[in-house]
Amino acid sequence: MFFELALEDLTRAADLLRPIHDATDGGDGWVSLEVSPLLAGDAQGTIQSAIELHARAQRPNLFIKIPGTPEGIPAIEESIFAGVPINVTLLFSSAHYFAAAEAYIRGIERRIQAGRDPRIASIASIFVSRWDKAVADTVPGELRNRLGIAVAKRAYRDYRELLASPRWQTLAAAGASPQRLLFASTGTKDPDASDTLYVEALAAPDTLNTMPEKTLHAFADHGQLHGALASDGGDSDAMLARFRLAGVDVNALALTLQREGAQSFVESWQALLQRIAEKSGGRHDTVQALCVG
């Protein structure tokens, strides 16, 4: 029942954005539909759902969203190989990004080997502000609201290095499109910080930013840019070293944030299914079976 409603809504959105999609040769004009969060630990179930949802939508500008968890990585590769555009979500570190990028590249390489069209779109979404919220009460004042930007800068450096690598250049020469880096969760959560903090710091070529509407209006009103993000990551290494000295285990925190994010998706999903069940007069487990069965 949920997917019937979501597909109706998102295919209409895709149709509205289709002229932009066509005018930018597939670069912009996308919408996203996530697979059930209950499939986060089920790679085969995720692959099947991604293929089925994409086939049902029948829109070239609709991403299927898959979390970049350890179980999601093989599902991303297989879905790309199957020709499904993928929005990789819940990435929190350079290691997470690299795993998602590798899965994308392997899927494209396999398509080329199989004689298939290598141009399958994908984006990799790095979550930013949740880092700063997680350490707000444990780091010195001069480090507040600086961890998310440092992590994003490091990921951007890895992104640019990957696009310049011989491995990617070979795929690009065969017609493949790059998996673009996306900065997500870029609304400022600290009321004492600038409401355009992350947008101003992370403006960079060939990236996306899914800022909240409130942040978008704030930037339109008083946002300022001071140059593009440095392709070498700028001061990210030095800043991350300062956080390590302050007692922050960045790698461990990345895993924690990813697990918490996945659990939050599950809780929201279950609440949604419960609401649908209440409105439809059916039982929760029946609706859940309809959605993920």
Residues marked active site are found at: 65
In 3D space, the residue among 130, 118, 42 whose CA is nearest the CA of residue 92 turns out to be 130
Q: Are 22 and 30 in contact (CB under 8 A)?
A: no
**How far from chain centre, in Å, is Cα 176?**
20
**From CA 102, how far away is CA 261, in angstroms rounded?**
22
- The two three-digit tokens of residue 168, written as one number: 């990617």
The 8-class DSSP code of residue 229 comes to: P
Q: Which residue type, as a one-letter code, is found at position 254?
A: A
In 3D space, the residue among 72, 80, 119 whose CA is nearest the CA of residue 99 turns out to be 72
Q: Are 34 and 65 in contact (CB under 8 A)?
A: yes
**From CA 135, how far away is CA 149, in angstroms rounded?**
13
Radius of gyration of the chain (CA): 19
Phi and psi angles of residue 131, each rounded to the nearest 5 degrees, phi first: -60, -50
How does strand 122-127 pair with strand 180-184?
A: parallel
Helix (H, G, I), strand (E, B) or coil at 139: coil
Q: Are 40 and 267 in contact (CB under 8 A)?
A: no
Sign, Cα dihedral of 281, 283, 288, 293: negative
In 3D space, the residue among 17, 88, 24, 116 whose CA is nearest the CA of residue 59 turns out to be 17
